[in-house]
Structure 1
Amino acid sequence: MGYAADLAEARKMKACLERHGVRVSIELQAGAGGSWGEHTAHQFNMSHHTATRPSQGLTPALGIVKRGRSDVPGPLANGYGGYDRIYRILTFGRANHPGAGGPVTLGGITVPYNNGRPYIWGTEFEGGYEQYTPEMRDFMDRANAGITEYWAQRRGRSVAHQLEMNLEHATWTTRKVDRIGYTRASSIRAIKAILDNPTTTGDEFDMATIEQLREIVREEVWGYRGLDYVNEKDPATQQHKLAKAHEYAHQAASRDVWAERGIDYVNDSPATQQHKLAKAHEYSRLAAIRSGEALAKVSALQATVRELAKGQGADPDAIDAAINKAVKAALADLEITLTTAKEN
């Protein structure tokens, strides 16, 4: 087991979390002692709090959770939920989060005395001094619902069975207190309410009206800047559009690298700076490839929407005309933007 296997699992967990309306960031690192692949042993889900206040920022304890303290090496949890209400998947290795405690038996499975790390997925949620806001409670409940769903799938259990394997820190040890406003029982009730009422109830296209179908296409066209250079007849214009596509990909990659990868090399040693900068360039290259693939999918999207339009009783030609109109509008706006940029 290693990074690749854990990344595959992280993506599956991300999908479960997103199904319940949770924003997710995968920020994988090795577990305590360099461990990977503990998803072969994890069975339970435990919620902790970090002992912080919202006034301290959006993610005041994230660095400590990742790196640990002088007396306890990191990571201090498998997952992390900040005041920004983004769930960060940190490690499928062993995390130093449960501490001494147990044994505890839930769902017919026992976690041995003082040996919780291999069995318990732990999440550190910011908080601990003040009552949680309704928005933060909703985020935590949805996150735990997604995690419950993931482990149910991973273990081949029913969701109802896996639900009983959620615990608060005080369930494991009397040394700790539960999150403010929560007990194990109240947490399970909140998670169950989310699982019983999923955020999405069907396929988006199945529920869409004709106007919504048009809007979906319009958004896709604007999202990719309308750069349909594949069907462009003039070679010079095609090259121009292709160059702009690469430029937009580079810009998007730069934003993704700093916002999502957190590669802050300014304050690092020269050797570490070089390493992180090389990784940033690699992420930019991959993002550019993904951007090119996305552009190629615009024409496929057009065909798909035509088929969906038939199912809605709409005229496919009318939908096609709306798509072409949106593309032309996007291209016209792009040329205006380029002209303005040149003038400046």
Structure 2
Amino acid sequence: MEQIEKRLVAFPKRTISLVELEKLIKPFARTYEAFAEIVLGLEADGTLEMVKARGRTTRTPSLAFQYRIHKHRLMEDYYRELQRWQNRLHPAIQLDAYYGKDPSVWERDKPFIVQIDDYLNTHSLPHEAVAAPERSMELVGDEKWITEGGGREVLERIGLFDRLRIIPVSDPLMFAVHPGNMAQAVQLHLIVENKTTYQALLPALLDTVFSTLIYGKGKTVISSIAQFSLQYPVKADHRFYYFGDIDREGVAIWHSLFQKKPALPALPFYRACLQKEPARGKEYQIERTEALASFLSYFAPDERERLCELLASGRYYPQETLKTRELQHIWREWQWTS
């Protein structure tokens, strides 16, 4: 009966026809009599309620042609099960997130949570950070579970991803260093989206107030920026700037990066692009409303209007709009610390 109730909870509609009900219960009842007994039992306990307007069959026992599913009755059992598990699991494991999810999510996650509980009861919470595959192997015996098997999502649901001190697997961050600025209390870092712009700016690095020039490699930087503190373990007030293509995809990359590591748009570069003739050919890109609104908030009202018109028309500015001399001049001469 428990499996049938879980199927009813997962059923996408509030009402269910007799034909649909028969398909749902068929694996658990070989005969009509057995099927009818199950359905009448669910009627009796209030889980299923006959839709009177549809009537009942003439067979014996008689069943309704359509039922209303009272899922809240079934969810009460589910909530009690969660509470029982919460009481028996390691205190670091939190099940609150499952109260708002379909019980099928809990059923799918439960075997992994049991393994994690065993790990915590044996080892407690770890003190040292290790790479995701190593921690994954320790927890569930599968080195790919966290990165490829949905493990990260499970650990986030139970409030353990950060507490298990997991180093995300990502490409190393690629950057050049200005050794003369590494001792500054406030250090600036410029992230650029494309390789051409990185190569153009690199010769000017030693003439700037920046400590690093970081090659973003498109979307790669969204994950690789997590490596920054490990690859550049310098204690300072680190401030980041970002310069990418002025198109919908470039704005989306900046916004995703900003959520991981607040990096301000490098306005002098973007404003220099606006003085040039835009290119055409990005009509196919999808607008991310939230990303664009956040990006535009850094610009003056007239600039926002121009950028909106530009992107709406499918035009754009690649980073390569600015030539090497222009890029280097802006980077050297702008008062970035003012």
Q: TM-score range by the shorter chain?
A: under 0.3
- Report the TM-score, using the length of structure 1 for normalisation: 0.22
Between structure 1 and structure 2, the one with the greater Rg is 2
- 1 or 2, which has the higher strand percentage? 2
